[in-house]
A and B are shown apart, each in its own frame.
Chain A
Amino acid sequence: DIQMTQSPSSLSASGGDRLNITCRASQSVGSFLNWYQQRPGRGPKLLIYGASNLQSGVPSRFSGSGSGTDFTLTISGLQPEDFATYYCQQSYSATWTFGQGTKVEIK
């Protein structure tokens, strides 16, 4: 299986901050990399697909970059509703895998 490793595992931030969350794959996944947001008690929500494509309805402060093994999710201008856990996920192989998650907390 392809292993996905996110960093950091958690971080504290303030409203208006710019954040970068990174995701590294154990082998190349091309651009088959998606990002999800999960708020407590709720199902995940798709933010970014194909490494850099913004899902319809997602605010433009979210962006994604990278290819191969190294990817980044950027949130520009953190809003109160953005305090949540973020997961990367590869869809390159037949069996998909998620990163362990990055929890964004209020400083």
Chain B
Amino acid sequence: EVQLVESGGGLVQPGGSLRLSCAASGFSFSDYGMTWVRQAPGKGLEWVSATSASGATTYYAESVKGRFTISRDSSKNTLYLEMSSLRDDDTAVYYCAKQSKGVWPRLDYWGQGTLVTVSS
């Protein structure tokens, strides 16, 4: 069974940093691209960042480019999101999701999310 478990969320001051982790199990982690998606309180889903299966290629939303870094450690089956220069509008539940293989890119499994609150 595919499982994705996020951790590392919490309260951080504006301008601060935080590292999120996503522990993956139930599939061959090194064979699949991975993605972070966030959801501000009461709002919709926002795609944040993605990485290829190897980690060699990464993508970022304009809203986080230059402040967030996605990475992965296949020896630990873990995806990371390093967040710096955090702002109030980064407050959200952060989900990690597994990308599918094949013709139609999609997010076929999601975690339950970890809450990041940016506030003084």
A residues at B contact (CB < 8 Å)? 1, 31-32, 34, 36, 38, 42-46, 49-50, 53, 55, 85, 87, 89, 91, 94-101
Would you call the interface of chain B mostly helix, strand, loop, or mixed? strand
Q: Which of B47, B104, B111 contacts A43 (CB 8 A)?
A: B111
Complex interface: chain B residues within 8 A of A99 (CB): 44
Q: Contact check, B108 vs A55: say whether CB atoms are below 8 A apart.
A: yes
Q: How many residues on B have C-beta within 8 angstroms of the other chain's C-beta atoms?
A: 24
Q: Contact check, A98 vs B47: say whether CB atoms are below 8 A apart.
A: yes
Is B13 in contact with chain A by the CB < 8 A criterion?
Answer: no
Q: Contact check, A34 vs B44: say whether CB atoms are below 8 A apart.
A: no
> Which of B61, B62, B97, B105 has most chain A Cβ within 10 Å?
B105
Complex interface: chain A residues within 8 A of B60 (CB): 95
Complex interface: chain A residues within 8 A of B37 (CB): 44, 98
The contact string, 1 if C-beta is below 8 Å from chain A, for chain B 91-120, is 000010100100111111011110000000
